[in-house]
Amino acid sequence: MKIMTTVSGQTYEIDLNIDPDCERCFIARIDDHEARLELIERKPASLTLAINNEIKFFEFVKERARISEIVYRNRSYQAELKSPQQEALENLLEEFGAGLGGSASDPYMRAPMPGKILGISVKPGDQVELGQVVFVLEAMKMENEISSTVEGTVKAIEVELGATVNTGDVLLEVEPHR
């Protein structure tokens, strides 16, 4: 999986792959550099990783349910993380006037395109993370995994399996993490 990240004004493309030899491990590549990442602990506002067997602790500051700042060793770095596909989709939706929602003032996840709901992988009370696949939507005879644009506890699912939705229709409501 490719992730685009901007840290303190510098943009990096990270190629992140599951390490087949370890259940909670990944291999990250940035340019010619490679690192083995092992997930030690994950919380809503922090992450503990072993990077090439060295333990590191990161804290996150979020704006509009997205990471906006990373704190490491008491130093703060402005940050933005997203997949190239997510960035392209957000730009396209903005161009057509259909925002994705997902801020503290708009805790709703909306349909990014018209289609039919084929799968729902959460229920009220579940914790949902930014980027977690929560719906499968059929559009133009293709199955599309729809990832969460909001983070928190699922308050309500606003659609049923088999429902037809239009761009911008509310799919679920989330009580944001505080």
For residue 94, the 8-state DSSP code is H
CB 146 within 8 A of CB 136: yes
CB 172 within 8 A of CB 109: yes
Instruction: Give mean pLDDT, residues 41-50.
Output: 89
Q: Do 76 and 111 lie in a common domain?
A: no
Q: Do 9 and 74 lie in a common domain?
A: yes
The rounded distance, in Å, linking the Cα atoms of 175 and 151 is 8
Model confidence at 4, pLDDT cuts 50, 70, 90, reads: confident
Instruction: Give mean pLDDT, residues 19-46.
Output: 90
Model confidence at 64, pLDDT cuts 50, 70, 90, reads: low
Domain tally, the chain: 2
Q: Do 110 and 161 lie in a common domain?
A: yes
The rounded distance, in Å, linking the Cα atoms of 36 and 25 is 7
Q: Do 38 and 70 lie in a common domain?
A: yes
CA distances from 75 to 40, 69, 71, 88 (A): 21, 10, 5, 31
Which of these three, 49, 82, 115, is where a domain ends? 82
Q: Do 78 and 6 lie in a common domain?
A: yes
Which of these three, 58, 82, 106, is where a domain ends? 82
CB-facing half-sphere around the CA of 156: CA atoms within 13 A: 6
Q: Taking 80 as the threshold, does the pLDDT of residue 41 lie above it?
A: yes
Which domain covers residue 128, as residue numbers? 98-176
Residue 84's DSSP bridge partners are none
Q: Do 71 and 116 lie in a common domain?
A: no
Residue 108's DSSP bridge partners are 173
Q: What is the pLDDT of residue 144?
A: 86
